[in-house]
Amino acid sequence: MKPEDSALVIIPLLAVLAPLLARAVRPAIRVPIVVFELVLGIVFGPALLGWVAPSDMLEKLADLGLALLFFMAGSEIDYRAISGKPLARASIGWILSVVLGVGVGFLIAPTDGMIVVGIALSSTALGTLMPILRDAKELDTPFGKAVTLVGAVGEFLPLIAISIFLSTRTTTVATIVLLTFVVLAGAIVLFARRVPHGRLHAFVRATLHTSAQFGVRFVLLLIAALVGLSVMLDLDMLLGAFVAGAVWRIIMAQAPEKDAAAVESKIEAIAFGFLVPIFFIYTGVTFDLQALLASPRALVLVPLLLLALLVIRGTTAQFSAPPGSNTRDRTALGLLAATGLPIIVAVTGIGVDEKLLDSATAAALVGAGMLSVLLFPLIGMTVRGERRQVSGRRPADALPPGEL
């Protein structure tokens, strides 16, 4: 059987193995599932066993998984809670991040490639962090809200930067096109706020347990429409996916909590049970391990870029630290803010395609992103768990088992 054909069986097998492995090591160490998905993709991909090969079908499914990951991130954010001064502080932190990141890029990449490096090092993997925060019951705490704010800015603003500075258009035209998208997206958001949703909620409720599944179908249409708008305007599709999540949150804000939770559960099943694992596994499959191993310079860059992520995002995240945060709070916030991968994968892919970045440097960036997903949430939530235990609250390790 060809690797392209065997992928139809092996990828679902790897998607099942990942949570089993995460559960098996949980008594000793809490490792995010995405780490196992990435590693399994590398092991079974062309880099090692060669049992799974890249294909157009897998690439499209992985793109859908990435879009769902950004949709879920957009739908989790309480936009009223992060507006005003907190948003301004987080945005200032991101601007400083991208400036520092471009400085690092100037040292390791050609002139045009430093923009790619800067955007990569200014990103935060909010979609990866949200399940971790949710499982740890941190979403509604000041700490969780700070991480969400830093992550939202570190996921959305890099997409804006990609659309402006890495577009095939001139910067002026790209900015005009982006503003057009912002105006159209704003109109959609305003429409979603103003239009009564009672009949929509009623129809969603009526089809929750039928073959119609209107709520799920409506979400998929919403994602397709806004992703399609992004693609039509030659913008990064992830902009549309993120905005679609925000629109869906607005639409369901006034729905009965039970109905909203039921629809959310179904969307999570599609996202985290099907498409998102394909994205992470396929990222491992397409990871250019040979280019990394063949370049001593790239191997040295991996830990240096990992350190750069921690220093750049970890320090600038302190702009958003909740009042009264102690050293452990700030350390945990910095570690989670430095967790980056999806944007890094996306922007380095663009960089290589446009010949702004060589494959070895791109592999080093993605490798650093993989290590950040492995190490930073684990260390950060351990530090946070210790702090909660000291303060007399329930430690993170005592929470009901949930997948990270």
Encode pLDDT of 256-302 as tens digits. Answer: 888 888 888 899 999 999 999 999 999 999 988 888 989 899 999 99
Which residues have CB under 8 Å from 116's CB, separation 6+?
A: 105, 109, 166, 347, 348, 350, 351, 356, 357
Domains and CATH numbers, the chain: 55-398 (1.20.1530.20)
pLDDT in tens, 340-399: 988 999 899 888 888 889 899 999 999 999 999 989 998 998 888 744 444 444 443 333
Q: Are 109 and 296 in contact (CB under 8 A)?
A: no
Find tokens 């200032």 and name the residue.
92
Which residues have CB under 8 Å from 4's CB, separation 6+?
A: 53, 55
Q: Are 374 and 343 in contact (CB under 8 A)?
A: no
- DSSP sequence for 6-31: HHHHHHHHHHHHHHHHHHHHTTT---
Average pLDDT value for residue range 77-105: 87
pLDDT in tens, 363-379: 999 999 999 998 999 89
Question: What Rg value do the Cα atoms of the chain yield, rounded?
Answer: 20
Q: Does residue 401 have a pLDDT over 80? A: no
Instruction: Indicate the pTM of the whole model.
Output: 0.83
Q: Are 203 and 214 in contact (CB under 8 A)?
A: yes
Q: Are 404 and 377 in contact (CB under 8 A)?
A: yes
Per-residue confidence band for 305, with pLDDT thresholds at 50, 70 and 90:
very high
Within 10 angstroms of residue 201's Cβ, the number of other Cβ atoms is 19
Nearest-angstrom CA–CA distance, 253 and 197:
10
Nearest-angstrom CA–CA distance, 335 and 333:
6
Say which residue, 335 or 259, is predicted with more confidence: 335
What's the burial of 308, exposed, middle or buried (CB within 10 Å: 0-12/13-18/19+)? buried
* Least confident piece of the model among 66-80, 170-184, 310-324, 380-394: 380-394
Nearest-angstrom CA–CA distance, 266 and 285:
28
